[in-house]
Amino acid sequence: MTFEELEIIDPILRAIKEVGYTQPTPIQEKSIPSLLQRKDLLGCAQTGTGKTAAFAIPILQHIYNDKNLNGGFRNIKSLIVTPTRELAIQIEESFTKYGKYTGIKNTVIFGGVKQGGQTQTLRKGVDVLIATPGRLLDLMSQGFVSLRNVEYFVLDEADRMLDMGFIHDIRKIIAKLTIKRQSLFFSATMPLDIIQLSHKILGGKPEKVTVQPEQTTAEKVEQAVYFVNKRNKPKLLTHLLKTVEYESVLVFSRTKYGADKIVKFLKKVNIVAEAIHGNKSQGARQRALTNFKSGETKILVATDIAARGIDIKELSLVINFDLPNISETYIHRIGRTGRAGFSGIALSFCDVEERAYLRDIQKLINQRITVIEDHPFIEDADEVPKKKPAQQRGQRQQQQQPRSRHGERDRDSNNKRRRKYYRQGASKPDRSR
Ligand code: AMP
């Protein structure tokens, strides 16, 4: 299938050729025809599938064909609401790229920066507005944005919107939209609350498109886990960054504070890294992202929400410094590598307290993640949860003994490591007495 066969108009074809797309991705192949027929769409797709172009191209084509681009004030004809600033910026960049030869004007608004620049652009009139919910409502209430003429509405990353507590904002936004519109609803996961929300937004029978069930991405990415003490995680990270080959690495931290700490300890061992998270100013986040995209910074440390907007094709390695407590987040994280057909590697650090998260993740992806046993910071016995009182331990050992083929040697997990060591060629000590 080609873009020509999807009946994309020439000005857009020219632009997508320029960005180097030779053929549509599966989500584009599935969604573009029904979107060009002005149908509503429920898309279950995650990042990296090419979903931005899947909705941007038909919207641009509609606006272009509607032929009301010349003269007069430009009303907002399409609104795209997305949860994070990074994602909003990225979507706007896509509209600019694909719409280069259409004459369509677009802009992006998000919080965390002064509104002056944004309102100035809005005053001049735009056809497409990409927005995060808070700033959108803010500028609506001040009269800078009217949704009266919106004909094409996209709610992107709906599951993340709900995670971030945007549900009330979304309801307020929907209430201001006209009934006669084409609506597109995208979410990586489809739990019940998301399905309910989709019913509110989409008309009668939307087209449903599911691309790359989450397992597929998980299968595509080579994954491994290191069991390591919490306190040894920095050492293991340093060791990996000094020994593993990579073009660019995205290191995930569960918390903002943790992300800063990682950057600091890497600095101490002369490894340059930058962090992006919600406590950083928008300017600092954009700078870090630009440096990372240009290859100036090879290591970016990010929290989950901040990483949502990161789109780097060559991202070859993801390191989960912490395992996420929500299993779906793991899929989002590893989805940052292995994008658009590229293969990637995801390495996770798992301490004793995170073992339960690992179990949940493996259940979700329906896959066992390879455990790397051969590393210098293998979890020590002293990190295993507090031992039971001696009497109870004795009882357990007695119960276990008959089951052990090798008797005493199997009792201590350290022996497993020793055996591995011997297998690798070391001579056994003489234990005879
Ligand atoms: P998205 O899922 O929209 O975040 O897109 C993921 C990546 O795929 C982006 O880097 C896009 O530039 C890229 N992409 C989108 N459509 C295509 C295509 N048809 N061919 C090659 N790359 C594409």
User: Count H helices, E strands: the chain?
Assistant: 18, 14
> Residue range 200-215: average pLDDT?
76
**Packing angle, helices 256-268 and 233-243, rounded to 10:** 60
CA–CA distance, 78 with 303 (Å, rounded to integer): 30
User: Percent of the chain at pLDDT above 70?
Assistant: 81
Q: Report the mean per-residue pLDDT for the chain.
A: 82
The pLDDT of residue 17? 93
Locate all alpha helices (DSSP H) within 19-132, ordered by sequence.
26-36, 51-65, 85-98, 116-124
> Residue range 318-331: average pLDDT?
88
> Residue range 229-250: average pLDDT?
92
Q: pLDDT digits over 136-160, tens only?
A: 999 999 999 999 999 999 999 998 8
> Residue range 270-283: average pLDDT?
87
Domains of the chain listed by start with CATH number: 4-211 (3.40.50.300), 215-383 (3.40.50.300)
> Can you tell me which atom of ligand 1 is nearest the CA of 47?
2
Q: What pTM value is reported for the model? A: 0.61
Q: Calculate how far, in angstroms, residue 293's C-alpha sits from the geometric centre of ligand 1.
A: 15
pLDDT for residue 211 is more than 90: no
The pLDDT of residue 33? 96
SS3 157: coil
> Can you tell me which atom of ligand 1 is nearest the CA of 46?
2
Cα–Cα distance list, 167 to 48, 145, 263, 385, 413 (Å): 25, 20, 34, 40, 48
> Residue range 118-138: average pLDDT?
97
pLDDT-based confidence at 339, cuts 50/70/90? Answer: low
pLDDT for residue 265 is more than 80: yes
> Can you tell me which atom of ligand 1 is nearest the CA of 3?
19
Q: Which of 35-39, 133-137, 189-193 has the lowest mean pLDDT?
A: 189-193
The pLDDT of residue 13? 97
pLDDT-based confidence at 130, cuts 50/70/90? Answer: very high
> Residue range 263-287: average pLDDT?
89
Pocket test residue of 311, 315, 332 for ligand 1, highest count of atoms within 8 A of CB:
311
Q: Where are the beta strands (DSSP E) in 277-344?
A: 299-302, 317-320
**Packing angle, helices 26-36 and 51-65, rounded to 10:** 30
CA–CA distance, 106 with 78 (Å, rounded to integer): 9
Q: Calculate how far, in angstroms, residue 320's C-alpha sits from the geometric centre of ligand 1.
A: 24
Q: Strands 299-302 and 274-276, how do they pair? A: parallel
Nearest CA to ligand 1 atom 16: 50
> Can you tell me which atom of ligand 1 is nearest the CA of 19?
12
pLDDT for residue 374 is more than 70: yes
Q: Which two tokens stand for residue 15?
A: 């632009």
Q: Which of 123-137, 227-241, 303-317 has the lowest mean pLDDT?
A: 303-317
**Packing angle, helices 192-201 and 167-175, rounded to 10:** 10
Burial 217-245 (b: 16+ CB within 10 A, else e): bbebbbbebbbbbeebbbebbbbbbeeee
| Residue 149 or 285, more confident | 149
Give the end-to-end CA distance of the chain in Å, rounded to a whole number: 75
Tokens 């793991």 belong to residue: 330
90-307-42-99 Cα dihedral, nearest 10 degrees? 10
pLDDT-based confidence at 246, cuts 50/70/90? Answer: confident
Q: Which of 115-119, 383-387, 424-428 has the lowest mean pLDDT?
A: 424-428
pLDDT for residue 346 is more than 50: yes
> Residue range 281-309: average pLDDT?
85
Output the ligand 1 site: residues, CB below 6 A.
21, 24-25, 28, 47-53, 311, 313, 339-340
SS3 43: strand
pLDDT for residue 386 is more than 60: no
